[in-house]
Structure 1
Amino acid sequence: MSLLITVAPTGAETAKADCPQLPTTPEEIARTAAECEAAGAAMIHLHVRDHAHAPTLDGSLLKEWVAAVRESSNLVVQLSTGGSVHDPLEERMKVLDAGPDSCSLTMGTTNFGDDVFMNPWPFVADLYQLAQERGVAPEFELFDLGQVHALGRLIRTYGLPAGGKAHVDFVMGVPGGMPGTAPALVAGVQGLPSEVTSWSATGIGRTTLPVALASLSMGGHLRVGMEDVLTISKGVPVESNAQLVARAVELGRLAQREPMTPAGCRELLGLA
């Protein structure tokens, strides 16, 4: 069984001034995409930054970043519809106008550190139906067990994604969400609706390795990147996103799973 490695290179939380190696321009994201594809990634999860390196949902910049990735790599392009926790819901809906292959779709509202990441049910339902209409493959982001249950409700109400495949990602270790532990992942996977065809897991911060190892042991896939962790080991800063992808490839090979190609990812998501 091959291993899908998704790279989340930027995120919306870390400031460029605090982490100069964070890719925050179209040129940097193009180079990152090429390096991460060469290292073994098949999909890239994008949060876009403006010319001042601040998070943005500006439509022209989203399109510029999508084009930059496509010109430099064959990676499947997934745009975040979460933006930052402060972005209004109507702006987050417009992300699909940038023409991504995939989009994140968070299945409920979550406490996110000191903030609240708003995903009320009407917004989730509207965004899902828009993704179905556009043929964009959603990646259902699950921050807690209630959201696992909500996913079943969504699929029962509105049917499968346009490509007939349902892929989810457990986002674990966020302050306010489920812990980044093996028992929590086991509970989440056991609760998945039968329509789900594949799943991956993301461990935030110090939960990165425990979650990765637990996911591999259960046949899941991995998301890694500087959105989720900024150290490669205790006290040692990450040098690049490709470094994190390379570590995920190494872990996968220990589990006798070779990295999936972008073409394999497209098949997995129903985009082929």
Structure 2
Amino acid sequence: MTPPPGVTGTLITVAPTGAEHAKADLPQLPTTLEEVLETARRCEAAGASVVHLHIRDREHRPTLDGGYLRAAVEAVREATDLVVQLSTGGSVHDPLEHRLTVLDAEPDSCSLTCGTTNFGDDVFLNPWPFVAELYVRAREREVVPEFELFDLGHVATLRRLLDTHGLPFGGRVHVDFVTGVPGGMPATTAAVMAGVAMLPEEVTSWSATGIGRGHLPVMAAALSAGGHLRVGMEDNVVFRRGRVVEHNDELVARAAELARLLQRPPLTCAEARELLGVRERRRR
């Protein structure tokens, strides 16, 4: 696993909204375009270099409407230097054909989940034909995929993708271990390290996400093993026992502080683009 020459430090991705939490339960959850922009600016200042976006409509419900997606991508790209990554997972209830249209919004990056997984009482559906089609389309659109691995079997699917279709656009292979989802791999150091040991040699960087209580243990495990981080209210809404997260930048700032303490300071947005092989789409 060899990162690009000269790129050291920690990639911090912020996932500020997600598709699971309700605005009525968490008024501080950024769901409007104005809130997303304010969050993006503050999280960039706190140390994030990638923003992973799920979009909501005017009623604060998850949506894959192309107009909403394009508006968010363009606005965040204009207001910040962040790498803009759109979720192609949407909600677990979104049809597969709708999820493919996310690429029409021309993000810098997109999530690409490498297999189906139980998701609490629901099923997050990602059959092989869909995964392969999304991969090929992303390369044709010059969008860099982030391979989301919810279980060890997903690592094998990543291997199959690379063997069948070659490297993604940009030539880098960045994966994110999503741990702690009920039905997926647990949020433990052992689980993360088992996944890292299985990664194909083409992988150039990896990060880890701990859902809920797994947030801090997985963050520590990833940093200590040379990995990168994803934080945000999509994955965790409790800052510490008895205190709910008030803003996503709190989670980014804590991740950045830990990275600096371990002498792996946060990457700049320019360094993140080099690490991931992202194409320049900003009009500047």
TM-score by length of 2: 0.95
Quick one: distance in 2 between partners of 1:257 and 1:194? 23
Identity score, percent: 69
Task: Report the equivalent of 1:23.
Answer: 30
3-state SS of 1:17 partner:
coil
Gaps of 5+ in 2: 1-7, 280-284
For residues 168-187 of structure 1, the aligned pairs below 5 Å read 168-187=175-194
Q: How many residues align?
A: 272
* 1:27–1:68 Cα contact (<8 Å) kept: no
Quick one: distance in 1 between partners of 2:259 and 2:38? 24
3-state SS of 1:140 partner:
strand
Q: 2:146 aligns with which of 117, 132, 139?
A: 139
Quick one: distance in 2 between partners of 1:69 and 1:250? 24
For residues 37-48 of structure 1, the aligned pairs below 5 Å read 37-48=44-55
Question: Following TM superposition, by how much is the alpha carbon of 1:12 offset from its aligned partner in structure 2, in angstroms?
Answer: 0.0
Task: Report the equivalent of 1:72.
Answer: 79
* 1:30–1:71 Cα contact (<8 Å) kept: no
3-state SS of 2:175 partner:
strand
The CA deviation string for residues 18-44 of structure 1, in whole angstroms up to 9 with x for no partner, is 000000011000110000000000000
Task: Report the equivalent of 2:114.
Answer: 107
3-state SS of 1:179 partner:
coil
Name the aligned partner's letter for residue 252 of structure 2. V
Quick one: distance in 2 between partners of 1:263 and 1:256? 19
Task: Report the equivalent of 2:159.
Answer: 152
Task: Report the equivalent of 1:12.
Answer: 19
Are 1:164 and 2:171 counterparts? yes
Question: Following TM superposition, by how much is the alpha carbon of 1:253 offset from its aligned partner in structure 2, in angstroms?
Answer: 1.1
Are 1:61 and 2:68 counterparts? yes
Are 1:218 and 2:215 counterparts? no
Q: 1:257 aligns with which of 247, 257, 264?
A: 264
Q: 2:89 aligns with which of 54, 77, 82?
A: 82
Quick one: distance in 1 between partners of 2:110 and 2:268? 19
The CA deviation string for residues 104-159 of structure 1, in whole angstroms up to 9 with x for no partner, is 00000000000000000000000000001011000000000000111011101100
Give the root-mean-square deviation of aligned CA atoms.
0.6
Name the aligned partner's letter for residue 240 of structure 1. H
TM-score by length of 1: 0.99
* 1:85–1:116 Cα contact (<8 Å) kept: yes
Question: Following TM superposition, by how much is the alpha carbon of 1:71 offset from its aligned partner in structure 2, in angstroms?
Answer: 2.2
